Every structure is written in structure tokens, then in C-alpha cells.
């Protein structure tokens, strides 16, 4: 599943490919692609609009449109945004954005969990703001947390977060998109290994030096992912259809039984919050019950 580095890679590539192009047509080939809005409504809002920028917010690809709205794309498990002549299997194309110059951006998604929405762009910049109402009914992009590569993500900020959520397992907290936006399973695992923190440690039990290490480790893992064009353990490809290289550089993710790169002890796989997790039993000590 694409996380911050993968989505950042796609957004940077698309910025060079589709900015200043004007949308002539939007076609949906999957009834749930734009839910709860009908595809015709989304199409009407996209038609004639010029793309002024492409960026990332959390794990969403954001196409800023002239006029203050934005097209937000959630890739979820297997979504791919492919521009131009990239090799696409037509069976999995769920949506297509055609431009006035005759080129097109296609959304391919084998598992069909990906979604598209046209929203007021200002919604995305409200950090972690939680409007009233039940959480489950609000779209995720309406309440995204702090960007971990932004200037506002400081050691002080992270310390305040763990104080607000002291009982949460640290790995579960790192994956909460309403707290920090963009970290997923892979980069949480890699960051906790680098910071030498067990994934099940209660956030409130982290010492000041551990919080500082974790802050550094989160940025290290994400920046490394971006530098390597993202990770392709299975489906991920960038906007040109190429795989990333981060999967060759994992320290512990998907390396159960292999030696820890720091101490040589065999990496262990466990399940935390329903997600497969990898850690070194020597470098990342199990918390006392
Ligand atoms: Zn180790």
C-alpha cells in the first residue's frame, strides 16, 4: 500500500507531466470510484479546469485546480495513476482523465479500493482539525494530522502527541492518519527499528531521548523512501509505471529470520493492531507487562 514516499514520488512526477493541462473529460468505469458523489457530478466539476499544481497530503495525491478546488485521489491498496503511454492493463482501469491536448491520466486499480473526490482545497490544510460529528462519517482527508516532513513536525510536537495519547501502542499511534499523516506500516516498522523502540511500547512510556530518536528515525525512513523512489514489495509503481527501489533497502520489514543489520539477532514477525510487524528482539526490547 503506497505510503508517504510512494505518493510523494508519484506527485512529483505528475507535477512535471500534467500541470497546466486542462481537463476535457472525466470517465468513471467503476461505480464506487467517486462515491458518495455520482461520477457525472465529479465530471462536471472537473471539465474545463486547469491543473495548477500536483502535491501530496498524507497518503493522498492532490491535484489543485484553478478556482480553489482540488481533485483528491486515494490509491489505497493497488491504485496507480499512470500518465500517457505507460503500460496499462485495460481490465483494471477504473477512471480516466482526458486533457484538451489529447493526452490522458488513467487510474488503474485491481482491488478497487481507490477513490477520487473533488473538494475545497482549503479542507486539506486544516491540520488534525476535528469538526463536530461522528468520526466515521467524515472523509479521512477532512481531518489529516501533521505532515512528518513539514517544519511543524518537531521533537516538541511529537512529545506533546505522545502525552495526549499515552495509552496507545506507539506503532498504532504512528499509523493514525489523524495524528501524523502519511506514515504506513512499512515506514513505521523501519522507523521503530532505527529508534530501537518496541512497536508495542505505550506512547506515554517513551523517555525524552527515545522520542528524539523516534523523531529522527521517522524522517530518516521517509526521506530514504523518497530518495529510492518508494517501495514496491508488491504492486506499487510510479506515474511512469516503474517500481521503486526501497524494498531492496529494508532493514527489518519483511525480513523475518534474517539477521538484524545492527546486532545480528534474527528479526521476528508479530502482529500489532492487525498488521504484520517486524522487529529485532534485542535492539527493540519487549515492554514489561
Ligand atoms: Zn538488533
Considering 3, 6, 147, 190, which one is annotated as catalytic? 3
Cα 204 to middle of ligand 1, angstroms: 23
Q: What is the pLDDT of residue 196?
A: 98
Cα 202 to middle of ligand 1, angstroms: 20
Question: Among 41-55, 149-163, 171-185, 233-247, which stretch is predicted with the lowest mean pLDDT?
Answer: 233-247
Cα 216 to middle of ligand 1, angstroms: 18
pLDDT in tens, 125-163: 776 544 445 555 566 677 899 999 999 999 999 999 999
Q: Which three cell numbers stand for residue 237?
A: 509503481
Q: Which CATH architecture describes the domain 4-125?
A: Alpha-Beta Barrel (3.20)
For residue 69, what is the DSSP state?
A: E
Q: Is the pLDDT of residue 226 over 70?
A: yes
Instruction: Using alpha carbons, select from 38, 2, 3 the residue that is nearest to residue 222.
Output: 3
**Rounded distance between C-alpha atoms, residue 67 and residue 285, angstroms:** 52
Contact yes or no for 244/187 (Cβ under 8 A): no
Cα 193 to middle of ligand 1, angstroms: 8
Cα 192 to middle of ligand 1, angstroms: 11
Annotated catalytic residue 275: yes
- Extents of the domains making up the chain: 4-125, 155-279
Same fold, 4-125 and 155-279: no
Annotated catalytic residue 288: no
Query: What mean pLDDT do residues 57-61 have?
Result: 96
- DSSP of 178-195, one letter per residue? TTBSS--HHHHHHHHHHH
Q: Is the pLDDT of residue 288 over 90?
A: no
Kindly state the greatest CA–CA separation across the chain.
62
Cα 6 to middle of ligand 1, angstroms: 27
Question: Among 144-148, 202-206, 285-289, which stretch is predicted with the lowest mean pLDDT?
Answer: 285-289
Considering 219, 275, 281, 287, which one is annotated as catalytic? 275
Q: What is the pLDDT of residue 207?
A: 98
Please state, rounded to an integer, the average pLDDT across all residues of the chain.
93
CA atoms within 13 A of residue 209's CA, in its CB half-sphere = 1
Cα 260 to middle of ligand 1, angstroms: 5
Q: Is the pLDDT of residue 24 over 70?
A: yes
Considering 45, 59, 171, 213, which one is annotated as catalytic? 59
Inter-axis angle of helices 208-227 and 4-18, nearest 10: 40
User: Sheet harboring 23-28: ordered strands across?
Assistant: 23-28, 93-99, 104-109, 79-83
Cα 189 to middle of ligand 1, angstroms: 13
CA atoms within 13 A of residue 116's CA, in its CB half-sphere = 30
Provide the pLDDT confidence category of residue 234 given band limits of 50, 70 and 90: confident
CATH 1.10.8.50 is held by the domain 155-279:
yes
Q: What is the pLDDT of residue 142?
A: 76
Considering 2, 5, 148, 199, which one is annotated as catalytic? 2
pTM of the shown model: 0.93
Amino acid at each position: 500500500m503506497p505510503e508517504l514516499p510512494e505518493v510523494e514520488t508519484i506527485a512529483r512526477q505528475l507535477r512535471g507531466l500534467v500541470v497546466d493541462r486542462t481537463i476535457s473529460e472525466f470517465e468513471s468505469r467503476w461505480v464506487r470510484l467517486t462515491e458518495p458523489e455520482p461520477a457525472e457530478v465529479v465530471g462536471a466539476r472537473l471539465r474545463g479546469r486547469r491543473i495548477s499544481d500536483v502535491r501530496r497530503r498524507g497518503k493522498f495525491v492532490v491535484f489543485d485546480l484553478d478556482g480553489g478546488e482540488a481533485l483528491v485521489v486515494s490509491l489505497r491498496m493497488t491504485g496507480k495513476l499512470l500518465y500517457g503511454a505507460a503500460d496499462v492493463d485495460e481490465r483494471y482501469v477504473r477512471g480516466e482523465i482526458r486533457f484538451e491536448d489529447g493526452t490522458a491520466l488513467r487510474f488503474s486499480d485491481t482491488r478497487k479500493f481507490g477513490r477520487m473526490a473533488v473538494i475545497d482545497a482549503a479542507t486539506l490544510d486544516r491540520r488534525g482539525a476535528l469538526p463536530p460529528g461522528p468520526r466515521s462519517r467524515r472523509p479521512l482527508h477532512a481531518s489529516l494530522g501533521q505532515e512528518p516532513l513539514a517544519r511543524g513536525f518537531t521533537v516538541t510536537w511529537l512529545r506533546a502527541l505522545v502525552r495526549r495519547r499515552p495509552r496507545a501502542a506507539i506503532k498504532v499511534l504512528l499509523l493514525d492518519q489523524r495524528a501524523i499523516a502519511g506514515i504506513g506500516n512499512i515506514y513505521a516498522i523501519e522507523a521503530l527499528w532505527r529508534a530501537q523502540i518496541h512497536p508495542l511500547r505505550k506512547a506515554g512510556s517513551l523517555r525524552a531521548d527515545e522520542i528524539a530518536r523516534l523523531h529522527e528515525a521517522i524522517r530518516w525512513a521517509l526521506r530514504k523512501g523518497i530518495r529510492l523512489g518508494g517501495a514496491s514489495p508488491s504492486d506499487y509503481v510510479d506515474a511512469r509505471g516503474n517500481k521503486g527501489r526501497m524494498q531492496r533497502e529494508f532493514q527489518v520489514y519483511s525480513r523475518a529470520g534474517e539477521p538484524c543489520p545492527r546486532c545480528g539477532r534474527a528479526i521476528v514477525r508479530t502482529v500489532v493492531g492487525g498488521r504484520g510487524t517486524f522487529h529485532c528482539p534485542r535492539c527493540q526490547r519487549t515492554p514489561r507487562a
